[in-house]
């Protein structure tokens, strides 16, 4: 039964998740999905990495959603990530000025993804991070992780999540600095170096 | 050796029996599939083996995941929710309308949020380059739509009844007809991608993807209800499908929104 009676809370139960399957590529990705940073913004960082399976093979059919605050730690409440053109019915792309904080990037045939966004600011006791959500064929429920940026060791040491993760796996949550504001962050779904994934309650 | 439907049937039955036993032993109801559900072979190398690290969001209102990206009128066009009007001609197939409400676990409507859908055409073929199923493409149907929920969490799509299709996981593997849905809540923790099915599909017992939801009641929540009152005279069959997003959210922030 899929008409939910909201007057009976016991019937308000979650809709189960399913895989995105292999054929979302003409539906979900959109032009400029990874160009989250406004054009020419001085706090722009570039992120790149691979999504890898338990055999170390890259996934050509995964996508990652990134969600993060602006450099002051404020959460954007700005729409326009996937602006549409009412004339042509196509995508207009972002306007290049406003920062929505959210992007969606598909892995390419090599399992590689890239994004440009703004360096996130800290919120509360947390070290600065971007939230990342991974979807793929074969993945029945999407996976959450976080992309922390290296540099401020004191902030990372005080972070509530990083301090509860075992030392050997902590590094999977911290991007590698490649210089000039570029960072590498691989997502390993399974096996050696498996990324730390998160659940929220 | 060729993997057959009979092999998969046995695995599905074993997974179901194992779940029933867990419930009988007092384990909690599982509303979500397990990521290591082996009858769906693509999951084998793509599920984590380490347990997830748990974050109690009630202890920290500042976590980024308690907020959600925003979408607005700029992100859709007026006819994005009518998949039958995206080309010059009419698509082939049975016209349907699918509507429902987007709700949180407290039964409250989620307003102004993005709903994206995609699906195969009436012959069971996706307008995707890598799709190899030898069924006709429909030049008048792309099978992609999006909309924003209304004040009562309502969404509404006009589309074509998708066809079932073979998918080669095992010999004679067929997916029941379905529409893919992608949903956002008021918190990023509520993100959901899923599939909506149609009532009484004879393929349900054979499909390891729908059967990955081993709880019988939870699986039923993926199946839309036919509602004759929603059928439009001389136009379309009407289905209703309410969606409830899981995941904690920040009720104290969203008050009065």
Q: What is the pLDDT of residues B39-68, one digit of tens each?
A: 999 999 999 999 999 999 999 999 999 999
Percent of chain A with pLDDT over 90: 93
Q: Is B155 a catalytic residue?
A: no
Contact B54 A196 (CB under 8 A): no
Q: In what order do the strands lie in the sheet with A143-148?
A: A102-106, A62-67, A129-136, A143-148, A198-200, B53-55
As a whole number, the mean pLDDT across chain A is 96
ipTM over 0.90: yes
pTM: 0.97
Residues of B in contact with A26 (CB under 8 A): 118, 126-129, 142, 144
Give ∠ CA B64-A117-A77 in degrees, rounded to 5: 45
Q: Which pLDDT value is given to residue B252?
A: 47
Contact A15 B222 (CB under 8 A): yes
Pairwise CA distance, residues A31 & A14, whole Å: 32
Residues of A in contact with B46 (CB under 8 A): 53-54, 59, 136-139, 189-190
pLDDT tier, B250 (very low <50, low <70, confident <90, very high otherwise)? low
Q: Is B88 a catalytic residue?
A: no
Q: Which pLDDT value is given to residue A89?
A: 86
Q: Which residues contact B118 (CB under 8 A, 6 or more apart)?
A: A23, A24, A26, A27, A28, B126, B143, B144, B145, B179, B180
pLDDT tier, B174 (very low <50, low <70, confident <90, very high otherwise)? very high
A187-188/A182-184 β-pairing: unpaired
Q: Which of A8, A18, A51, A103 to mutate to test the interface with B (most CBs of B within 10 A)?
A: A18
pLDDT tier, B251 (very low <50, low <70, confident <90, very high otherwise)? low
Q: Which pLDDT value is given to residue B116?
A: 98
């Amino acid at each position: 039964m899929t008409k939910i009676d909201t007057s009976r809370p016991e019937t308000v139960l979650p809709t189960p998740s399913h895989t995105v399957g292999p054929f979302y590529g003409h539906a979900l990705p959109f032009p400029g999905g990874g160009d989250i940073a406004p054009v020419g913004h001085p706090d722009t960082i570039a992120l790149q990495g691979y999504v890898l399976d338990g055999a170390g093979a890259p996934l050509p059919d995964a996508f990652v959603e990134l969600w993060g605050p602006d450099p002051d730690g404020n959460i954007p409440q700005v729409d326009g990530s996937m602006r549409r053109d009412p004339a042509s019915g196509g995508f207009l792309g972002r306007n290049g000025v406003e920062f929505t904080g959210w992007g969606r990037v598909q892995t390419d045939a090599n399992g590689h993804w890239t994004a440009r966004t703004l360096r996130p600011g800290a919120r509360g006791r947390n070290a600065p991070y971007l939230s990342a959500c991974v979807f793929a064929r074969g993945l029945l429920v999407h996976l959450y992780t976080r992309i922390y940026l290296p540099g401020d060791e004191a902030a990372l040491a005080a972070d509530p999540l990083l301090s509860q993760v075992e030392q050997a796996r902590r590094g999977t949550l911290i991007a590698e600095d490649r210089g000039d504001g570029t960072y590498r962050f691989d997502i390993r779904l399974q096996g050696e170096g498996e990324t730390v994934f998160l659940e929220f309650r | 050796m060729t993997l057959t439907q009979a092999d998969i049937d046995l695995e599905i039955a074993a997974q179901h029996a194992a779940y029933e036993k867990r419930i009988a032993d007092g384990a909690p109801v599982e509303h979500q599939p397990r990521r290591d559900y082996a009858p769906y072979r693509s999951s084998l190398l793509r599920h984590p083996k380490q347990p997830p690290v748990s974050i109690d969001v009630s202890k920290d209102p500042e976590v980024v995941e308690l907020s959600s990206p925003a979408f607005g009128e700029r992100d859709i066009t007026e006819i994005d929710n009518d998949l039958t009007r995206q080309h010059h001609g009419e698509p082939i197939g049975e016209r349907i309308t699918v509507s429902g409400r987007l709700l949180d676990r407290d039964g409250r409507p989620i307003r102004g949020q993005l709903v994206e859908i995609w699906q195969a055409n009436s012959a069971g073929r996706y307008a995707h380059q890598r799709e190899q199923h030898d069924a006709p493409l429909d030049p008048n149907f792309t099978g992609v739509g999006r909309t924003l929920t209304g004040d009562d969490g309502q969404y509404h799509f006009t589309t074509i009844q998708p066809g079932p299709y073979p998918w080669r996981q095992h010999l004679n593997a067929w997916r029941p007809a379905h529409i893919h849905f992608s949903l956002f809540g008021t918190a990023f923790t509520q993100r959901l991608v899923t599939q909506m099915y149609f009532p009484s599909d004879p393929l349900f017992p054979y499909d390891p993807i729908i059967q990955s939801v081993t709880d019988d009641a939870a699986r039923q929540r993926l199946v839309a209800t036919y509602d004759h009152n929603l059928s439009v005279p001389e136009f379309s069959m009407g289905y209703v499908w309410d969606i409830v997003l899981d995941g904690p959210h920040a009720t104290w922030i969203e008050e009065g929104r």
